Amino acid sequence: MPRRPFVRLFFALLAALAANACVIAAPVVLVVGDSISAGYGLPAETGWATLLQQRLAAEHYPHRVVNASISGDTTAGGRARLDALLARNHPAVTVIELGGNDGLRGGSIDAMHANLDAMTVAAQKSGARVLIVGLRLPPNYGPAYVHRFDTTFGDVARGRKAALVPFLFEGFAEDNAMFQGDRIHPVIAAQARMLDNVWQELKPLLGEPGKSR
């Protein structure tokens, strides 16, 4: 009886198992954000998180990006769903890009601080390094509120020894051409700029190319 079909099947199965093992073994960069990281208003697969995956591959990092960003999410929403994301993905690095909707809705800065702090602690306890991504509010929210909002990201990062992107829109925040009509969500041309701002602080958390921490 011919054995070749069984041999081919055996090696195909081994290849599938090996490929699956590689996916499982790849360290994860988990992005927990809102519409800015979800790519609101953009064509699919053009947001900065997708560009991050491409840069990781180009620079020979083994990491894969899991983008768990949801448009409209707040720090409270992120805090509520983070434990499940950590348990499912076991990230090596967790990027927290939340707070913008808290501020735009005039929410409690104390609550925002507490949520970001709790998320940072949970991610660190799971074994992940944490990168907090800062945002800023327009001045019409009042100087006291704007100042407290702006400084919260750095306060949490310093308090928990987490990495920090001081301002995601650094270098283009005043350029209206870099934003959609709502003046909140960046256009495609701004995604690479955001990635550069994130990459500067993310890269030291990844370890050497070809290896994982």
Distance CA 41, CA 205 (A): 30
Contact 97, 37 (CB under 8 A): yes
The span from the CA of 82 to the CA of 119, in Å, is 7
Measured distance CA(136)–CA(147) in Å, rounded? 9
User: What is the Rg, in whole angstroms, of the alpha carbon atoms belonging to the chain?
Assistant: 20
CA distance linking residue 146 with residue 195, whole number of Å: 24
Tracing tokens 């400084």 back to the chain, one arrives at: 151
Catalytic positions are 35, 182, 185
Asked whether 118 and 108 are in contact (CB, 8 A), the reply is: no
Q: What token pair was written down for 38?
A: 């979800």
